[in-house]
Structure 1
Amino acid sequence: MSAASPLRVVCLVPSWTETLIEAGVNVVGRTRYCVHPADRVSTIPVVGGTKDVNWEKVAAQTPDMVVFDQEENTQAMADSCPYPWVATNVTSVQAMPAALEQLAKALNCDALLHMAERYRAALAAPVSRSGRQLPLLSDKHNSSLSVLNDDRPLLYLIWRKPYMTVGTDTFIHSLFTHLGLPLITPGERYPEVDENWLVQHKPVLLCASEPYPFAGKLNAVKDELQLDALLIDGEPLCWYGIRSLRFLESLQSS
């Protein structure tokens, strides 16, 4: 195995695009949502999105391999792929080492194996149950950080109109559970949250910066739901691969 893969790779998974570039993989095609690292992806052609792909644009990049993920992409995309492909299935933080090893084998890349080892070490390191370790963002309408110290449950919001959260079978939920900060949820995957449920549970809202841009809308959310709320950086919590790895490693030195 070489330290960096010589293969020409089209990656249709934003988290993996960033990770593969960090590992030295030759990424020659990406989705429009693959925005990290910004200084590198700007020169990589866009061949579609996470739910659609233009195979003519892919063909122009003469790839040796296409990278999918079962949640990010559709089965139809994989079925129509005219090139060798690999598909991960990342639904939890615990699945990350195996997923990195899967990609390392498919792409012949030692650097990804090293990331898998780093991920195992990060997951094995002790963590302290503290909401202040979360990647909170500055916002003049943030509630006091003291709300993280009381007994109210935490609700992670990813969308507004309708309000939606993350369920138990998601990477984000598994990461919070690993940190000893389990999230409250009304169901699996990405359920909507209704007013009656909110009145009953009275959670502290963690309003993510993505996929819905809660920045600048925090005061409106607090007024609508009459709950305490904090703005949180969603990228370290849902961009699995190198971004979530760096977040976990940062906790070891904090």
Structure 2
Amino acid sequence: MTRVVSLVPSLTEAVAVSAPGALVACTDWCTHPAGLDAARVGGTKNPDVAAVVALRPDLVVANEEENRPADLAALREAGLDVVVTEIRDLDQALAELDRVLRACGVRSRPRWLDEAEAAWAAAAPAGPPRTAVVPVWRRPWMVLGRDTFAGDLLARLGVANAYAGHAERYPRVPLEELRARGADLVVLPDEPYRFTADDGPEAFPGLPAALVDGRYLTWYGPSLARAPEALGRALRAASR
């Protein structure tokens, strides 16, 4: 069996569900599936490289956005095989998941991956077309910009990202500018910043706020199969 270390929470879930027993370690932020039994090797941005090397895994799975190039280079220099994913939209996510799981020794395509593809193929707009600002951090304010996986998911549900044309993928934007952008919705995920009903909507008075589970907006893994329904429900609730 291929021994795998995952440095990305959503990939951790995908590997653990699809290749039981293959995952030997993951990050401190890997929370799914429930009851995950694997060694912990630090965070996505500050993994304990020495601890990963000491485990002598056959494969390390990572992401070009979540993990730092210097850490990945150090793992490769130590002789480890590192697969780095690049995910900017749903189609790329499905293809990269298939590639990673095959590298992890999964011989047949997991059912959940087919279910995710079917669920998104059948997804319909969650109400009339809207334009949203989508903060991902608060101090300072940062939002989704161009070419993001989360932005693509929202677009498939009829919600355009107000900053999709920005030169940066995660621009820092003053709150005053966000308020003046002309959006008719603010989408507030609970990760990476944990926006809640008491922390976020008050910054956008008069603007409907959709509080969404970050797993369904930013994770690429088994949760993708449930994401259209969960996100659609949150978006519809914000328009009432």
TM range (shorter): 0.7 to 0.9
Structure 1 position 232 matched with structure 2 position 227: no
Asked if 1:20 corresponds to 2:1, the answer is: no
Output the aligned Cα RMSD.
2.5
Q: 1:119 and 1:8 mapped to 2: Cα distance?
A: 26
- Tell me the matched-pair count: 224
Runs of 4+ in 1 over 3 A off after TM superposition: 111-120, 221-225, 248-252
Does 1:108 find its partner at 2:105? yes
Task: Please state how far the C-alpha of 1:204 moved relative to its aligned partner.
Answer: 1.8
- State the one-letter code of the partner of 1:63: P
Of the candidates 62, 68, 80, which is equivalent to residue 62 of structure 2? 68
Q: Which runs of 5+ in 2 are unaligned?
A: 233-240
Give me the whole-angstrom Cα distance separating, in 2, the residues matched to 1:99 and 1:222. Answer: 34
TM-score (norm 2): 0.82
Structure 1 unmatched ranges of 5 or more: 1-5, 132-148
Bigger radius of gyration: 1
Instruction: Tell me the equivalent position of 1:168.
Output: 146
**Does 2:177 align with 1:183?**
no
Could you tell me which residue of structure 1 aligns to residue 236 of structure 2? Answer: none
Q: Residues 1-254 of structure 1 correspond to what in structure 2 (within 5 A)? A: 6-25=1-20, 26-40=22-36, 43-81=37-75, 82=78, 83-112=80-109, 114-125=111-122, 127-131=123-127, 153-185=131-163, 187=166, 188-194=168-174, 195-218=176-199, 221-228=200-207, 229-248=209-228
Which of 170-179 and 157-166 deviates more? 157-166
Structure 1 residue 129: Cα displacement = 1.3
Partners of 2:139 and 2:230 lie apart in 1 by 34
Q: Does the 8 A contact of 1:129 with 1:180 survive in 2?
A: yes
Deviation at 1:21, TM superposition (A): 0.5
Q: How much identity, in percent, do the aligned residues show?
A: 33
